[in-house]
Amino acid sequence: MALSKDLVAASATPLILSILAEGESYGYAIIKRVRRLSNDNIQWSDGMLYPVLHRLEQQGLIESNMRTSDSGRKRKYYRIKDEGTKILKQQKNQWMLVHSILEKLWEKRPCLT
């Protein structure tokens, strides 16, 4: 089951911030983690992740630094900032609210007829 384009776009920020809240990471690893967690149901076009990462960096939610990886290549690692943690908390509350509303609406009701 593939997610709609709108839902993919809306969930990108909380997903990235949540992954970075676990520890610093780089683009390829973030994509892999999302795929694994969603059992390949969230299919981002890989290149689209980077504009989102750069926008979050411009907004001051995350920061980056270039380092040499174990494979010997220079990689750009991203890390969540305090402002990002604050925004993640807000987004978490919002998504939980939507989730609880939908859960109530979709729970089985007794049939009146």
Point out which residues bind other proteins (CB under 8 A): 26-28, 31, 45-48, 50-51, 54-55, 58, 66, 71, 73-76
Residue 94 Cβ, how far from other proteins at the closest point, in Å? 24
CA gap 78, 55 in Å, rounded: 12
Sequence-separated (6 or more) residues with CB below 8 Å from residue 52 = 12, 13, 16
Integer-rounded Cα radius of gyration of the chain: 17
> Is the CB of 71 or the CB of 113 nearer to other proteins?
71
Residue 67 has phi, psi (to 5 degrees) of -140, 160
- Shortest distance, position 2 Cβ to other proteins, whole Å: 15
In whole angstroms, what is the distance from residue 28 CA to residue 102 CA? 33
Q: Is the CB of 59 or the CB of 90 nearer to other proteins?
A: 59
Cβ distance to other proteins smaller for residue 23 or 72: 72
Distance in Å, CB of 85 to other proteins, minimum: 22
